[in-house]
Amino acid sequence: MTGAIICFGQQPCGFFPKRYLFAKIHTARRLQNEIGGKIVFFFHDSDHDPRETRTVLRHIKTRETAQLNFAFKNKIQRKFAPLYLKEIPDGWRNKTERQLSNYVSHDLIKIFRKVAAANIADFCLEMYRHMGLLDDICVVRSSAPDFRRAACDVEEYFVDVPYEGETVRARFIDGALKLHEGGNSFVTLPDAVFTREQISPARDTRLRWMQSVVNCTHYIAGAGEKKYIHPDSIPEIQFINREPICRSDEAYIEPA
């Protein structure tokens, strides 16, 4: 089956990727060895949740865990800007590098030092590439204007719009653009005209939106994804469970 398109999706998930992302990659490569075809990584860098990029590491000596994350330019960017527009402030790299010797090898610190990306999504993607995890894998990004123009319409979505000098990812609900402040609290933004290039899907419509462009034959599904992807709604895809991995939420820091 040389025409197979094997896909997996993931938000930027830490400057060292979470182990469950490595498991998806490993599962996709194993399947490719069995049936041929190509692998596509749907990089959902349109997400805005700053918790997605927490990087959980274990201390080399004590084995205690620590959570490291990016710093953010300001509160608006941290809470509401999409990950591809969250800027990395001056000083974060040096401060983080000084901590890494307690958690990872010198080789990984050298890779970390190489990456000069200005925003969080680019930084994560460059790290994964430098680690050798994405060799011969086609990466498509949910933030790419050409991808958004080609994607199908969905009924549940977010829109990237200006707000207080930043670009934020607002949910379009009941004909209005809203920012979720937490709990039942929302900020309603002024009405705005927007185009397809500003739209990204909500969670429950993401797979159908992605599939309208990628046209994959196989999809590697993570444990969390299986709760909302509704496989029966896209019968042309064969869904494959990602291989299990221990400590799945911790960072993957092994050689590729």
| Position 2 pLDDT exceeds 80 | no
pLDDT tens for residues 123-138? 999 999 999 999 999 9
Give the pLDDT score at 1. Answer: 44
- Is the pLDDT assigned to residue 157 strictly greater than 80? yes
Measure the CA–CA gap between 171 and 179, rounded to whole angstroms.
Answer: 6
The two tokens of residue 25 are 């990659």
> On the CB side of 66, how many CA atoms lie within 13 Å of its CA?
15
Tell me which amino acid residue 221 is: A
The band of 255, judged by pLDDT with boundaries at 50, 70 and 90, is low
Write down all domains in the chain, each with its CATH number in brackets. Answer: 5-148+210-241 (3.40.50)
Q: Is the pLDDT of residue 256 over 70?
A: no
- Mean pLDDT value of segment 18-22: 97
Q: Work out the end-to-end distance of the chain between its first and last CA atoms, rounded to an integer number of angstroms.
A: 27
Closest CA to 78 of 112, 120, 45: 120
Pairs from 178-186 (Cβ < 8 Å, separation ≥ 24): 179/79, 179/80
**Residue of 47, 27, 44 whose CA lies nearest to 158:** 47
pLDDT of 227 > 80? The answer is no
pLDDT average, residue stretch 116-120 = 96
Q: What is the mean pLDDT of residues 151-174?
A: 96
pLDDT band per the 50, 70, 90 thresholds, residue 181: confident
Q: What letters, b where the CB count within 10 A reaches 16 and e where it falls short, cover 20-30? A: bbbbbbebbee
Token pair 């709604």 in the structure block, residue? 233
- What's the predicted TM-score (pTM) here? 0.94
Mean pLDDT throughout 225-253?
90
